Structure 1
Amino acid sequence: MKLTDTISLSFRTIRSNFLRTAITVAIIALGIAALIGINTAIQAIAQKFQESFSSMGANGFTIRYRQVNVQFGRPSVKMQSKKNRRLKTSNANKTINIQEAEAFKEIYKYPSEVSISIGGGGNNIVNYGSQKTNPTVRINGGDENYVDMNGYDLAAGRNINTLDVTSARNVCIIGKDIVDKLFKGNDDLAVDKVISINGISYRVIGTLQSKGSTFGMSLDNLIITSYKNVRRFFNTGTNASFSIGVKVHDVSNMDVAIGEAEGAFRAIRKVSVQDDDNFLIDKSDSFVEMLMKQMGRLTGAAVVIGFITLVGAAIGLMNIMLVAVTERTKEVGLIKAIGGKQRNVRMQFLFESIIISLLGAFFGIIIGVLLGNIVSVLMGTGFVVPWIWVALGVLICSVVGLLAGLYPAFKASRLNPIEALRYE
């Protein structure tokens, strides 16, 4: 028998046992779909986080407030260093104030851009004429470098300048959601208009291009003004803390820049030599890296689920192939009687087993990719295909089909042709 005849016969046999084949294919597809689907979703989430939290790029880091839980006059053990040094209680929960942030921007001379920022809450209401937003608008205070360093792009108007910051005047840049709500999506129309934020009048000096959403939270439902203005109207509490963003010109010098920043800010914060830093320095991609480590557990779970399902599918496939050997004993005897060799019989049963496995892989990959991309659609990312896992899925199913078909194939090939022909 020719190889093409063997393959053709394998396909005809699979079609003739459609229901049994379909059940086996469904079991295999379920395992592959779980594996591919979860990894597709994880890849989509990773892509979105890279866009959302690494907007400063690989050459950025942030200095922020390090909150310490103080109990009975002592810092929490969790915040102690490897050398068991303790932060002084009097200096442990000290927020970063405006004087310290501005002093750092003044004295930090490493080749970089520095931006000062502070949050103004996320429950603000914006009015323009008879139009009003929901009380979900976020206010961010920054300086002339804030827009660029946080990955925003202007759609119309101008950026905040140093005069806006020093004078703390009521000017702002509004996000795309607010433009759509108050100005029917017309960016040029919004520029130079006077809006009301919680009853306070602000002149719109610019609008932002859309950034989409993350986990259902819009990144365009925000207003940017100067940090001094936010401190004046929106964040007047004593625990308000500023953040300092730094964007280094040469990414290869990141560690040096962080070291320089740490030394400069320790001096500004008056941290003694024997004490730990009472602030944190985060790389722009550190949060994403931390989150991806946690999501690695999901990948592990997907592998376990897929493995268990595929083991069950392999057992089921082997059982079906053994039943097929019994049912087709006379057919095997006829093949051998007309000159078919043991190799031809083995190849036929192995091809059947591998074809069923690959059909399961095909449908499982399609279902897994489609299910995983539901997450990417919800998050507004592009269509994601985890090619490495797709290739791995095909390889795994090929191995499963081969192993599941080996014993039935050898059993069939060793049948005595005369006894096989007489089998009822």
Structure 2
Amino acid sequence: MDIIENVKEGINSIKANKLRTILTAAIIAIGITSLVGILTAIEGIQSSINDSFSNLGANTFDIESKRANRGSRDGKTAKVFPPLTYDNLLRFKEKFTAGQVSINAAVTWTAEVTYASQKSNPNIRVQGGDYDYLVVDGYDISEGRSFSQAEVTNGAMVVIIGSEVKKSLFANDENPIGKEIKFLGGKFKVIGMLGTQGGSGGDDSIDRMCLVPTLTARKLAAGRRLNYEVTVAVNDPEKMDAATGLATGLMRAIRRDPVKSESSFEVKVNQSLAERLGEITGYLRIGGFTIGFITLLGASIGLMNIMLVSVTERTREIGVRKALGATPLKIRQQFLIEALVICQMGGLGGIVLGIAIGNLTSGLISDGGFVIPWVWIIFGVVVGMIVGLISGYLPAYKASKLDPIDSLRFE
């Protein structure tokens, strides 16, 4: 019951000094707002960064034929593995459920494309891709449409062109959709055009690409063996390891690789982008936490100062309580409870403001959605309690050590 009475006395004291309580809670609220707000904004920005890096391939990996090592090692000739076949990859796509799968193959990087009397340079990339190719690799259609499932299944003579191909063949902003262009001995109907991606270097720029269905690419190869590969997109980059492990096991089963032997194919994960994403997020969190912690430290010092002033103002009250039998422990409890209540009031207000300001900031500088960081909310409540205990202990200790006779004489 003594603790309950102390809680009531602490709350009554807070009510009796509303202005001081509001100012003190505001100091804590500002500190918590800074901490939670910055970290909430970082969570929202991270969501936007995840989407951006996904479009750059941070959530994808490729499975392709294994290249034979040149020469020999320890007197042994390097083992040569048979290349991946279209049937291998088709079976893989049918059975793999942990991500979106695209089967693709490059036909040539030196094609010459013609339309009417216009002709491109012989540096056009002809690429075969299926229905999921554009989605998996993060390319956008700016005009027209993507392949239909029927066109992919039947190997239709349709093509999606890059922006550089349009500039080379279609003058005066002529709409290429529905027109027929020629390359590699075939006529193709243009059904879509890719948005400008920017040069990726060399002759394999997406802007200089003609994309045809994978089965159509097989026809264009004219009996030549294509180097097929699959690209797998995982929704969550953090589940990349699990997805690559599952894909490796499934492909080994399809290829019938013996147990304990090396895989007859290669799995390539875009580690550079994924690792860079982790580094950026880590730096943002460290910086945000440091700034928020420094602000909160200043708020705790302000709280301690106000509580010390409160002890001085209430010296006679403390003397009366001690004269009536209050022990030093009860005096300490009263002041600690006051500090804790004030901190939690400020902490809850700071959490609400922090979430609002953090999401507003995130929305202004990125495309991140509304985020409620439950971890940081719990952290804010705990920090508020710790700040109250630390900031309130010195004033409470000072109050408990006051001499009751001197306190009653205090003016």
TM-score normalised by L of structure 1: 0.56
How far the C-alpha of 1:363 sits from its partner, in A, is: 1.6
Contact (CA 8 Å) 1:60, 1:247: kept in 2 or not? yes
CA-to-partner distance for each residue in 1:163-211, whole Å, 9 max, x for gaps? 89762x3679xxxxxxxxxxxxxxxxxxxxxxx99413425979xxxxx
Displacement of 1:416 after TM fit? Answer: 2.0
The 1:162–1:300 alpha-carbon spacing in structure 2 relative to 1, beyond 3 Å, is same
**In the TM superposition, what whole-angstrom CA distance separates every residue of 1:117-165 from its partner, at most 9, and x where no partner exists?**
99xxxxxxxxxxxxxxxxxxxxx99533325635899999944733897
Alignment match, 1:85: none
Partners of 2:172 and 2:102 in 1: how far apart? 28
Which of 223, 226, 231 in structure 2 is aligned with 1:246? 231
The residue identity in structure 1 corresponding to 2:409 is: R
Name which of 111, 120, 128 aligns with 2:92: 111
> Any conservation in 2 of the 1:56–1:149 contact (CA below 8 Å)?
no
Structure 2, unpaired ranges of 5+: 65-82, 94-100, 107-126, 162-170, 179-189, 193-206, 214-226, 235-241, 256-262
Which of 349, 353, 359 matches 1:373?
359
The one-letter amino acid paired with 1:364 is: G
RMSD of aligned alpha carbons? 4.8
Say if 1:282 and 1:357 are closer, same or farther in 2 by CA, change over 3 A: same
Counterpart contact for 1:142–1:226, Cα < 8 Å? no
Q: CA contact under 8 A between 2:46 and 2:368: conserved in structure 1?
A: no
The code of the aligned residue for 2:311 comes to V
CA, structure 1 residues 200+142, in 2 after alignment: closer, same or farther (shift >3 Å)?
Answer: farther
2:315 aligned to which of 329, 332, 350: 329
Structure 2 equivalent of residue 86 of structure 1: none
Q: Equivalent pairs: percent with the same residue?
A: 36
1:265-344 → structure 2 map (5 Å cutoff): 281-283=268-270, 287-344=273-330
* Number of the residue aligned with 1:91: none
Q: 1:188 corresponds to which residue?
A: none
Deviation at 1:107, TM superposition (A): 8.9
SS in 1 for 2:372: coil
The count of aligned residue pairs is 302
For the structure 1 residues 171 and 247, does the alpha-carbon distance in structure 2 shift closer, same or farther, using more than 3 Å as the test?
A: closer
- Helix, strand or coil: the match of 1:372? helix
Shift of 1:40: 1.4
TM-score (ref. length: structure 2): 0.58
Q: Secondary structure at the match of 2:177?
A: strand
8 Å CA contact 2:304, 2:392 repeated in 1: yes
- Give the Cα separation in 1 of the matches to 2:229 and 2:41: 33
Query: Structure 1 CA distance, aligned partners of 2:408 and 2:348?
Result: 37
Assess, with a 3 A threshold, how the Cα gap between structure 1 residues 388 and 354 changes in structure 2: closer, same or farther: same
Distance in 2 (CA, whole Å) between partners of 1:356 and 1:51 is 41
Find the aligned partners of 1:105 and 1:298 in 2 and give their Cα distance: 44
Partner SS state of residue 340, structure 1: coil
- Unaligned runs of at least 5 residues, structure 1: 65-102, 119-139, 173-195, 207-222, 230-241, 267-279
Question: 2:28, 2:303 within 8 Å by CA — same for their partners in 1?
Answer: no
| TM superposition shift of 1:327 | 0.8
Q: Do the aligned residues in 2 keep the contact of 1:333 with 1:418 (CA within 8 Å)?
A: yes
Query: Aligned partners of 2:294, 2:160: CA distance in 1, in Å?
Result: 60
CA contact (8 A) 2:31 2:295 kept: yes
Q: 1:384 aligns with which of 363, 371, 379?
A: 371
Counterparts of residues 15-414 of structure 1 (less than 5 Å): 15-51=15-51, 53-54=53-54, 60-62=60-62, 106=86, 109=89, 111-112=92-93, 113-116=101-104, 142-147=129-134, 149=136, 158-159=148-149, 161-162=151-152, 167=157, 169=158, 198-203=173-178, 227-228=211-212, 246-247=231-232, 251=243, 252-254=245-247, 281-283=268-270, 287-375=273-361, 377=363, 379=366, 381-414=368-401
Q: Which residue of 2 aligns with 1:181?
A: none
